[in-house]
Amino acid sequence: MVTAGIVVLSLGVAVPNSGAVGSYSASESAFCKTMFTFKESTPSGTSLNDYKSWAKGIIPLYEKLASEAPNAPTKKVLNQLVTILKDYQSAGSLAGLKAYEVANHASFLKNTKAFSAAIVACAKTL
C-alpha cells in the first residue's frame, strides 16, 4: 500500500547515518528525540493481517509524535496518520483498505510537507 511507503520514506529522512542516534543536544525537543528512536518498519507481507499487524505496531509511535509535535501543521499530519493507521488496523478487506487509501491519499500527500519540514529541522539539531 502507498501509505506504508510514505511513512517509511518520510521517517527515513530522520534517521542519521552514523552513531548520532542517541547523541542529543541539550536544546533538542522531545519530538526530535522520539523521531530519532524510529526503527524502520514495513508490513511483513501483503495480506490484510500483515497490514493490520504493521499498523498496530507503529500506532503508539505516531501517537507519541503527535503529542510532541513542534507545531500545529505537523500535529495535524500526525493525527491524520494515526487515523489512517487505525483504519488500516480495523480494515475488513484489502479491497476496502485500498478504496480507503485511494479516497484519502491526495489529502495526506498535501499535508506531508509540514511533517517533512519538522523531520529536517530535527536532523539539523544533530
pTM for the whole thing?
A: 0.72
The label of the residue with cell 506504508 reads 4
Q: Grid coordinates representing 112?
A: 506531508
| Domain map (residue ranges) of the chain | 51-126
Per-residue pLDDT of 21-47, as tens digits, reads 444 444 578 999 888 888 878 889 989
Q: Which residues contact 60 (CB under 8 A, 6 or more apart)?
A: none
Read off the amino acid at residue 82: V
Which among 3, 39, 6, 10 has a CA at the least distance from the CA of 118?
Answer: 10
Say if residue 12's pLDDT is above 60: no
* Statement: residue 119 has pLDDT above 80: yes
What's the CA gap between 41 and 14, in Å, rounded? 14
